[in-house]
Every structure is written in C-alpha cells, then in structure tokens.
Structure 1
C-alpha cells in the first residue's frame, strides 16, 4: 500500500467529516516549479495528490488546488513553510527540525506543538481537536461551518487577540482568509515596531 492509499484508508477510518478537493494542474505545476518538496514524503503526497483536505470544515490542509499552497505561502512573511490553517486564522508550519508549530490567532505568537507532520495528520483525522479548540467554538459553529467558503475564514470583533467578555460576545463574520492572515501579520509587525 503506497502513502496515498494509506492516507485514504486513514480518512475512511476517521469518525470526522473529511473532504478532498480536486487538483488544478496549473497550480500543481507552479508549486513544483517554485518549491523543492519530496513528492514521496507524507507532506508531498498530500500537497501533490490533492487540491487540499478539509477536516470538519475547520482545519484545512493546503494542496495543489482551491486550497492553494503557493498562494497561502506567498502571503506568509516568514521562511518556514505553512501547510495548513484553521478557520480562525491559525496557521500550522513545519519547522526546520521537522516539528509542527501553530501560529495562534488569540495571541499572535508561535506555539510549538512538539509533534511531527505524521503525528499532526493523525491528530487532525482522529485526535481530540474539539478540546484543542473548545474556547473558540461558538454555539452554532458546526452549522455555520457547513456554509463557509473554502477560501474564507471567520473574523471576530473585538479581535481574538483583544480581551472580550466571552467568545459569544464577539461579532463574527466570514471574510477571505487572505484578509485575516494579512491583518494578523500587519498588526504583529506594528506591535513589534513599537517595542
């Protein structure tokens, strides 16, 4: 059984709703031209054999399609590779040591998850993501996520990195994920410049 078949089997065995997006050949060729990524690796298999993978309409793995790995990394002002996002604007990156780090939208800081890519994949497909996100899931999140565009995220006001009475007290709206990512890093750069 090859890596792709193992991924398919893992998805079939998951109790979560997981969607594959189709590949766009133009995007696939663009990624291959710009990035030197081993196509036989687990990461490379997802990147080059899918247009992206969506877990519970909440975590999105980038691929060579609608969840465009090239475009998302082009927005990213750091050298690490981001390979996934969540609908809050949280980003998952592969560090030089192979471990995964999470850019948290509630504090605009990187948090090491101390797991490898394969462990992260297993966690996303089979692990307790509900507990990880329990402070950021509002009452109607499951229904709301069924309607969200694959290219959008949920923006909160006050922003998640600003104190508020509760998550439910924050105003939510669906906006392009590119806007959420840009806003996060623009704000972070402003804060760092003031230090």
Structure 2
C-alpha cells in the first residue's frame, strides 16, 4: 500500500475544480448557501479523503463547509456547521449529504451493488438504498442545474419554502405520520416539525431495523448535529 499523499500535493493542482463549481453555483436558479470552512479543517479533510482539489469532491472539501441547495439538500464539505466529509468511519461507503426530510446521499465503495464511486440515496419513504446512476460531479451539475426540484417533486407541500428556510443546516423536518407509512405518503397531509437531523435519522434507522433490518448501521453516528 502506497503512503498517503501530502496535503500540498492534493491542493496544488494544474486544473482546480473550484472555478467549475463556482460557475455552477452562479448559474443556478436555485438558492445556494456556501457554508464557511476554516483552512485547517479544510486541508485536514482533503488529506483524509486523499482526493485532489482537481475533483469536485476535493473542491467542495477545500473551499466550503458544505452547500445548502434550495434550503433542501445539505452537501457536506470541509467541516464547520456540518460534519466534514469522511469525518466518521464508514464501512464501504461515504456520506456526502442529507436532505431536509432525512434522506441520505452516499458514494459507494464496496458496500452497495455497482461500481465504486457511484452515488446512492437512502430514501425515508422506502427505507432502502437506491442507485441514482450518477457520480458526485454529475450530481452537482444535475442538482444545481434544476433537477433537484424534479427529484423531490413528490415531497413538496404548499408553502414548503417558508418552512425549509427556518431549518438550520444541521436540522431536518420530521413528518407524522412518517413517509414510509401509507398515511404519510403525501407531505401536505401530515404534521411537520423542525428537529435536529440526528433525531430524525434515529427514527428512520430504528424503524428500518425493526421492519426488515434494512437500516444503514452507521447512519446514526453520522447525523449532523448543532455545532458551536
């Protein structure tokens, strides 16, 4: 096994990806909040990931504490208000983001079917992993280009934007009845409450384990929590 690359080698690249990411953000018709990140945390995250700043994932880790897209999706970055990419140990996959309702995005290593680097989504309405058939950079381009609203079209309720705007990056919205029940399939017909994302993920993981043992074992440990 080769020795880990030094962080300087990961940062100093001929073609950094951050200008490309910035271009996607500037062109996006959706609101995009770029969360701040400290330089030490960013460089530490990049070194842990062992990806270069020439990749979209490396660019997000090095230059942001994460992205909040349309007040709905939270993509992890170099740490701060949200956990850093790769901050928590996982087996065969890496969490790269969450959504407002407790869904989770992860890059596959060896834990899920399909090639390494493929993007998967753990859905709160099915309590199962679903392949998105995309890469990380493809997801960025797809979501920031407007496809995020199509992906979540069945999840929205009237006036959802005002509720979503009140949730902090480390918070989500719990639905009752929950989305994995017949009564909870329509978000406009349920009760909603803003809670810490950790509580929301606890609910889904515990339910998945009780029903069919389908909960991702490491999900609870990686829940975003309020940071000072």
Q: What TM-score comes out, normalization by structure 2 length? A: 0.76
Decide which of 2, 5, 10 is 2:24's aligned counterpart: 10
Decide which of 67, 71, 77 is 1:53's aligned counterpart: 67
Aligned length: 191
> What's the CA shift for 1:90?
0.6
| Aligned residue number for residue 69 of structure 1 | 84
SS of corresponding position for 1:127: helix
Question: Do structure 1's residue 94 and structure 2's residue 132 form an aligned pair?
Answer: no
SS of corresponding position for 2:180: coil
Listed one character per residue, the Cα deviations across residues 33-62 of structure 1 (whole Å, up to 9, x for unaligned) are 7x3331322112102220111111011110
Q: Does structure 1 retain, via aligned residues, the 8 Å contact 2:85–2:95?
A: no
Give the whole-Å Cα distance in 2 for the aligned partners of 1:132 and 1:193.
26
Question: Do structure 1's residue 81 and structure 2's residue 100 form an aligned pair?
Answer: no
| Aligned residue number for residue 39 of structure 1 | 52
Give the whole-Å Cα distance in 1 for the aligned partners of 2:46 and 2:170.
22
| Aligned residue number for residue 212 of structure 2 | 192
User: In the superposition, relative to structure 1, how do residues 170 and 43 fare at CA in structure 2: closer, same or farther (>3 Å)?
Assistant: same
Give the whole-Å Cα distance in 2 for the aligned partners of 1:98 and 1:28.
21
Unmatched 5+ residue regions in structure 1? none
Unmatched 5+ residue regions in structure 2? 1-14, 110-115, 215-228
Q: What TM-score comes out, normalization by structure 1 length? A: 0.87
User: In the superposition, relative to structure 1, how do residues 154 and 114 fare at CA in structure 2: closer, same or farther (>3 Å)?
Assistant: same
> What's the CA shift for 1:135?
1.3
Question: Do structure 1's residue 103 and structure 2's residue 122 form an aligned pair?
Answer: yes
The runs of 4+ residues in structure 1 deviating greater than 3 Å are 24-33, 76-79
SS of corresponding position for 2:133: strand
Q: Which has the higher strand share?
A: 1
SS of corresponding position for 2:199: helix
Question: Do structure 1's residue 115 and structure 2's residue 145 form an aligned pair?
Answer: no
Q: Does structure 2 retain, via aligned residues, the 8 Å contact 1:39–1:48?
A: no
